[in-house]
């Protein structure tokens, strides 16, 4: 018997972003509503900490994006199904500056709410969402399992962040 991909609705531009809560890499509880009225939020879903493509993506995010003016008003949150301790170790090893949120338990609940979870691998795929201060999705990138080993081009969401200024 094969396991099919979960058929959750994809979150799209113009939608109200689903609320979420999860523990970040320091163990602090984080919710989307924590940022309402204060900061835009870029959710970067990825499958596995310490994997080659994920490390490459977040190293690029760390190294190439400090110039982005709009990042002063934008919280970048990486989300995977890895446990908090793994996220903490990965962040320390790579000297990442962004926050990571664990979608470990209930397993994949945040990813499922955004249509980013794939049952076949038990983890989120590479989807990205920019949410404005009012909680509305302003940018959405949907990638399937077939692009799992391909790093995302960050130029599109960089432009979306700049447009929110």
- Asked if 57 contacts 151 with a C-beta cutoff of 8 angstroms, the reply is yes
d(CA 165, CA 153): 21
- Residue 90: exposure state from Cβ atoms within 10 A (0-12, 13-18, ≥19): buried
| DSSP calls for 20-89 | -EEEBTTS-EEEGGGGTTT-EEEEEE-S-TT-HHHHHHHHHHHHH-TT-GGGGGEEEEEEESS-HHHHHH
- Among residues 41, 49, 54, 113, the one annotated as catalytic is 54
54 is catalytic: yes
The residues assigned a catalytic role are 54
């Amino acid at each position: 018997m094969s396991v099919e991909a979960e058929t959750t609705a994809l979150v799209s531009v113009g939608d109200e972003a689903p609320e979420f809560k999860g523990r970040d890499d320091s163990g602090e509880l984080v919710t989307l509503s924590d940022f309402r009225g204060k900061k835009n939020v870029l959710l970067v879903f990825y499958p596995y900490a310490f994997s080659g493509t994920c490390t490459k993506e977040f190293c690029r995010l760390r190294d190439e994006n400090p110039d982005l003016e709009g990042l002063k008003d934008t919280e970048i949150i990486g989300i995977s199904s890895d446990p908090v301790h793994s996220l903490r170790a990965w962040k320390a090893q790579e000297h990442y500056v962004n926050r990571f949120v664990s979608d470990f338990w209930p397993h994949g609940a945040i990813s499922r709410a955004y249509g980013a979870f794939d049952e076949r691998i038990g983890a989120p795929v590479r989807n990205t969402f920019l949410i404005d201060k009012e909680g509305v999705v302003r940018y959405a990138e949907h990638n399937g399992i077939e692009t799992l080993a391909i790093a995302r081009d960050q130029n599109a969401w960089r432009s979306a962040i700049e447009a929110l200024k």
